[in-house]
Structures are given as C-alpha cells and as structure tokens.
Amino acid sequence: MENTIFYIMVGMFSPILASFLSVVIYRVPRSESIVFPGSHCGACDKRLGVLDLIPILSWIINRGSCRHCGAKVPVRYLLLELLVPALMLTAAFYDGPTLLFARDALFITLLVILSFIDLDTMELPHRFTMTGIVAGIAFSIAFGARDLGPMWPDAILGAVLGYLLPTLISLIYKLIRGQMGMGGGDFVLLAMIGAHTGPSGVLVSFLVAVLMGSIIGIAIMVRSRSEERGGLMIPFGPFLACGGIVALFWGPWIVDTYLRLSGLA
C-alpha cells in the first residue's frame, strides 16, 4: 500500500515537473528568468491561465494550439510531459520510496534538461553537468555505504573515466580526421553519468550512445542522399543521455550478462 501511494504521487507530480522543465529548457539558453514573467504564448505573448498549463490534457484539449491566437504549440512539449513521467515511474518502480529515488530523479531531470538544450543549441551548460557531478559524488559519499548507489571511489572513478574516455577518443579522431569528434560538453556530461553509475555505467552509456548515434547518423545521411551532408553536426548529448538511462536501470544486468556469456564471470 505504501508503494502504491508512492507511485500515485510520482505519477501526479512528474507531469508538473515536466511542464516546469520545458520552461527551464527554453529560457536558460536565452539567459531569461525561469520565474518571471509567468508562462505565456511565444506568438501572441498572452499570459497562460491555469487551464492552459494542465500537463498533457491542455495540449490535447487545445489540439496543440494556443487558445488565444491559434499558434501551433510544438509537439515536443507533449512528448516531454509524457517522457518525464515514464522515466520517473520507472525509477520509482526500481527504487521504491527510498533516498535512491531522490538521486535518480535528480539524475533523470538533469539528463532531460541537457538533452533538449543540446538539441536546441548544440550546447551542454556546465551549470547542469557540474551540478550533476557534484551531486553524484556527494550522494555516494553520504549514502553509498547503505547500498543506495555506487560507493564514493566508484563515483569518482566513474567521473574521471567518463571525462577521459571521450577525450582520448576525440584526440585520436582529431589526429585522423583533423577535427574533434565530440564537443567538450559531451566529456563533462559523460563524467556526470559516471558519477552516478560508476565506471561500468560509463562504458555502457558510451557504447549505447555510439550505437544510437551511428544508426541515426547513417539514417540521416541516407535520407539526405547527399555526400555533402556527411559533415552534418549532430548533437551527441541526447545519445549519451539515453545511454545514461540504460546504464542507470539496466547497466549492472548488461555487464553481468556480458561477463557470463564471455566466460569472464
């Protein structure tokens, strides 16, 4: 019964969190306050009322448009309000009403913010990645001994490995191709993932990100049918974030399965 109430609370509040995150994602890159002014339509500048701010339902009821001027509201807002509850409920299912859920909820929140900002601006603000690194290590120091996440040596090693691994690969890529394969923000993002999931999580995250990035990159090039698009810049942050989610929920199982199948365990 206790867990059922917990799941209901997470399911109720996570869409509200998602709605707030959409404000953060839009305003932070523009150096705007996330508090003032209140939510308003970007087309007609009309202040949004309570009924306009009901997560998911308001988008459906208004058919993805502003009820004042009829301007289209990007479907990404609806997707965000569906994605965040899905991730939070998954974390709630795995963690239960524990301190580990608080850590994972913060981790997921940061990954979502960074992914969407990277999609919009090709940047990964250090104010979020550095906050994630500090939070991951601090949590491991305070609660790692209670089996609520990696122990602090693993968190620190994960952060270091997360930064050094893509740095080394990018330097090798630069020697071969004459340009960096990844941006510096990606290095810090993977360090943040490592601070929360440890060294094994870094490897899982990076491999998942490379696999996803390769598949989507090839699909884009095939669709464009132009060799000139081979140099198209694709933000890598969202792929790393997806890898981080995989590492968070299924990383240990993936590593254990690999070691068993390879005869190393």
User: Tell me, what's the pLDDT at 69?
Assistant: 78
63-72: Cβ within 8 A, 24+ apart: 66/41, 68/41, 68/44, 69/41, 69/43, 69/44, 71/41, 71/42, 71/43, 71/44
Domain ranges of the chain: 1-96, 98-265
pLDDT in tens, 191-224: 999 999 999 999 999 999 999 998 988 887 777 6
Mind listing the pLDDT tens digit for each residue in 133-150? Answer: 999 999 999 887 666 678
Selection from 65, 63, 26 nearest residue 48 by Cα? 65
Each residue's pLDDT tens digit, 152-199: 899 999 999 999 999 998 888 888 877 776 778 999 999 999 999 999
Q: Give the span between the Cα atoms of 265 and 7, in whole angstroms.
A: 36
Give the phi and the psi of residue 72 in degrees, each rounded to 5: -70, 135
Q: pLDDT of 74-106, one tens digit each? A: 888 899 999 999 999 999 999 999 889 999 999
The pTM (predicted TM-score) of the whole model is 0.90
Determine the residue type at 217.
Answer: G
